[in-house]
Amino acid sequence: MKKLAAVSLLAALFAAPVAALAGQVDASMIPDGTYTVKVETVKDPSHIVVMMQNGVETTLAAKNTTNFLTVKANDTLKISLIKGIVPVFQVQ
């Protein structure tokens, strides 16, 4: 019985970090640069939820002069990200 409890405890300890990775990442925590992303959903003309190539899911915001009106779910975008904001993007 003690072995089962120990194994259960170890399994829980290893499962916790994996569960933490399943949530969204704040876009401001992603380093500035150019990325290729896949659009999961378009929330509104200023916000989209994307999956990055490394498996990270995040919500991106458009800069005031940019909008996501031409973007739809499952599009692949090449984006520039500066401090969590997308100033320019290109649908691929």
pLDDT tens for 10-62 read 454 454 444 445 578 999 999 999 999 999 999 999 999 999 999 999 999 99
Q: What domains can be seen in the chain, in order of their start residue?
A: 24-91 (2.40.50.140)
Number of other CB atoms surrounding residue 68 within 10 Å: 22
Task: Please tell me the predicted confidence (pLDDT) of residue 65.
Answer: 84
User: What integer pLDDT is reported at residue 64 of this predicted model?
Assistant: 87
Higher confidence at residue 6 or residue 68? 68
Instruction: Classify residue 84 as left (phi > 0), alpha (psi -120 to 50) or beta.
Output: left
Give the residue-averaged pLDDT of 59-80.
93
Q: Which pLDDT value is given to residue 23?
A: 78
